[in-house]
A and B are shown apart, each in its own frame.
Chain A
Amino acid sequence: MIGKPGTYVRILVIEDDKAVSDFICKGLDELGYNVDAALDGKEGLFLATSEKYDALIVDRMLPNVDGLTIVQTLRASDHSVPVLFLSALGEVDDRVRGLEAGGDDYLTKPFAFSELKARIEALLRRGQPTDAPVTKLNVGDMEMDLLSRSVTRAGREIELQPREFRLLEYLMRHAGQVVTRTMLLEHVWDYHFDPQTNVIDVHISRLRAKIDKGFDTPLLETVRGAGYRLA
C-alpha cells in the first residue's frame, strides 16, 4: 500500500538548513521512505520537475528560488504532487499564502518529528487516486454512513453531536494514521490557533466514551507525544 513504510515511496526535501534537512531525512529514512534532499531552491525545482516524487517537503525561505515560487511553478505546469510547506516563523498569514500558492499543508518550525510524520502520512494518502465518492466509512466493526449521518458499532447505534460526528469522520478517514491535535483543530474546528489547554483531549475522551465504552477492543488510541490513532 502506498504511503506505508516498506514500500517504495519517494519524498523530496527542499530545505537550506542542513541541520533541519538532516533531521527530516534521517527520520523519514528510518521510517522506510526513499528520501532525496535539495539544499537550495534551484536544485529543488530541478529535481521536482525531472524526477517523480510522491510528496515534497518545501521550506518557505530558500536561496535562489523560494518555496512559494517552486510550488507555483509546479502547479502552473499541472504537477499535482502533494506539498508540505515548512516555515521558520509560521504565522497565519504565511500559512494562508502557502496554501494559496498550491501547498497542501503547512508546518511551523520548530516541530516535533511526530507532527511531520503524521502530516506526511496524511498527504501521501491524499495523493492516492480516490474511487467514486465514499458514502460509508468502515473501521473495524464500526461503520459511519455519511448520507444518513449515523454511526453504528457492532450493529449498535451510537448517538453523536454534530461536532463529534465530524471529529470521528476525520479520524476514520485517517484510520491507521497518527492524527495530531493541531491537525484536528485545523480540520474539525477549522481554526488555526494555539489552544492554551489540551481542550482536544476532553473532546477525544468524550468521543471515546461513546464509541469504545462497552466494547472489548478499544478503537481510539492515544499516541504519546504525538496525537491519536483510530485503529
Chain B
Amino acid sequence: MKLFRTSTFQLTILYAVILSVSTLVVSAFLYWATIGFLQRQTDSTIEVEITGLREQYRQRGLNGLSRAIGDRIRRGEDPEALYLFANRQLQPLAGNMNDWPDLVSRDDGWYSFTNAADGREVPARGRVLSLPEGLVLLVAREISDLDRLLSLAGTALAWGIGLVIALSLAGGAFLSSQVLKRVESINDTTQRIITGDLSQRVEERGSGDEFDQLAANLNRMLDRIEHLMSGIRHVGDSIAHDLRTPLTRLRHSLEETAASDDVGAMRERVENAIADADKMLATFAALLRIARIESGSYSIRKERVSLPHIVSDALELYGVVADEKGVKIEFDAPAAPDVQGDRDLIFQLVTNLLDNAIKYTPNGGHVYLSVQQKPTGVAFVLEDSGPGIPEAELGRVTRRFYRVDGSRQRPGSGLGLSLVKAVADLHHAELTLDNLDNGLRVEVVFPTR
C-alpha cells in the first residue's frame, strides 16, 4: 500500500515506537525504585523476625519459641505481622493464624498467599522455616496496602502507556507532516523547473534551519545555472555576430578570386583569405580554451611560480610593443613569495592585461606594473593612463566578446579579459578592475599558502 511507503507514515511509526519503548523503560525503573523497594522492605522485616525466632529456638527450645511468639502477638506492636507454629500434620500449635494456608507447603522458602481472618481475605507474604522433629514455623506479613498500591500503579501504567502511544502517533504524524510539507514544497518547485520555468525559486522562510539552507543552496545553484545559460546564449549570439563579418569578408574575397584571371592578385587574395580563416580559428581555439578552464576539466599543473619573474618575462616580451607605440612602462617588484599555479596560464593572464594596457594607452602615456604583498596573498597590479572603462560596464568586460563602445574598431577578439577572469578563477585569485582619475587599475591577488 502506498501509505506504508510514505516517509510521513514511517517517521510516525518510528517516533511512536521509540517513545513507547522509552516510557516502558522509565516505568520499569520507577516500579523497581518504589514498589520494589517496599516489597524488599517487607521481605527483610520477615527475614529479621525469622532470624530472631530461630535464635530463641536454639537457646530456649520449643517452649522458648512458643513464648516468644506469644509475647510478640500480645504486645501487638505490629498489627500486620502473622505467625504460625505448626506440628508435623500442619496443625497450629501457636500463633495468630487460624489455619495453615493451602498455598503454603512445609518446605523452606518464600510464599505469597491469602490469609483468612475475621471473615475477610487478606493478601500476605511470608517465609517457612523447618525446625527439628517435623515442626514448621511460618512468619508472614499482610500486604494489603502494598497490593492495592500495586494494582493502582498497574492501572496507571497501562493508561499511561496507552496515552503515550496515542500522543506519540499524533505528535509524530504532526511533526513529520510539518517536515515533509517543506520537502513537498521543494519537490513542487523542482517539478515546475523541470517543466521549463527556470525562474522558479524554492521558498526560503528565513529561519536558517537545514531546510532553509537546502532551499538557499538550491536557489544559488539555480542562479548559477541561469547565469551559465544566459552566458551560453550570449556567447552563441556573439559568435553569430562576431564571426559573421570575417566570414562574409572571406566569402567575398573567395568569390573575387574565383572571378579573377590575374594569378598574382589571386595568390594575394588567397593568402588574405587564409589569414582571415586563421583568425577565426584562433578565436574558436580561445573560446574552447576559456570554456575548458571555466568548466573545471582543465587539470591544472600546480607549481611554485614567481610573479616578479613572470611579469619581467612578459615585460621583456611586450616592452618592444610599448616602445614602438611610445608608451613608457615601469615595473616595481620587491621580493615576493611564490604563488601556486600554472606558469603558462599566469603568463597568459599577465600578457593579456599588459597587451590591453599598451593597446589602450595613448602615445606618450605610461603603464605602471608592480607586484605587491597583501594580507591575503601576492598581487599583480597594473595601472595605465588609458581611457579606463565606463563605470557601468566594469562588471561586464570579462564577458566573452564584450567590447566597450568605441573599442570595436580596435584589433582584438573580445576574449582577452574573459581568459584573464577564467585563469584568475582557476587559481582562486581575485580580479578587480577600478577606474583611476586618469586610467585603469587592474589588480589580481593570488592567494599564498
Chain A residues engaging chain B, CB cutoff 8 angstroms: 89, 91-93, 96, 108, 110, 112, 163, 189, 191-197, 199, 202-203, 206, 224-225
Contacts and interface: CB of A to CB of B under 8 A. Distances in A.
A194 B286 contact: yes
B320 A92 contact: no
Contacts of A192: 344
Nearest to A195: B351
B355 A202 contact: no
Pairs of residues from A and B, 6 with the lowest C-beta to C-beta distance, nearest first:
A193-B348, A196-B355, A202-B320, A92-B344, A191-B347, A192-B344
A197 B355 contact: yes
B301 A202 contact: no
A206 B289 contact: no
A199 B344 CA distance: 17
B432 to A, nearest CB: 21
Interface string B408-426: 0001110010000000000
5 contacts: A92-B345, A193-B345, A194-B282, A196-B356, A197-B359
Contacts of A203: 317, 320
B313 A92 contact: no
A202 B351 CA distance: 15
Q: Which DSSP category, helix, strand, loop or mixed, fits chain A's interface? A: loop
Interface residues of B, number: 38
B271 A225 contact: yes
Interface of B: 271, 274-275, 278, 281-282, 284-286, 288-289, 292, 298-301, 313, 316-318, 320-321, 324, 342-345, 347-348, 351-352, 355-356, 359, 411-413, 416
Contact of A189 (B284, B292, B313, B321): B313
Contacts of A199: 317-318, 320-321, 355
A163 B317 CA distance: 9
B320 A191 contact: no
Contacts of A197: 321, 355, 359, 411
**Which of A194, A196, A202: most chain B Cβ within 10 A?**
A196
Contacts, number: 68
A106 to B, nearest CB: 13
A203 B286 CA distance: 24
A191 B344 contact: yes
Contacts of A224: 271
Given A92-B345, A194-B286, A197-B359, 12 more contacts: A92-B301, A189-B313, A189-B317, A193-B347, A193-B351, A194-B289, A195-B351, A196-B416, A197-B321, A199-B318, A225-B271, A225-B274
A195 B359 CA distance: 13
Given A112-B278, A193-B348, A195-B355, A93 B298 contact: yes
Nearest to A108: B285
B281 to A, nearest CB: 5
B299 A93 contact: yes
B305 to A, nearest CB: 12
A189 B315 CA distance: 12
Contact of A194 (B285, B300, B320, B411): B285
Nearest to B284: A110
A96 B281 CA distance: 23
Nearest to A95: B344
Contacts of B316: 163
Contacts of A194: 282, 285-286, 289, 348
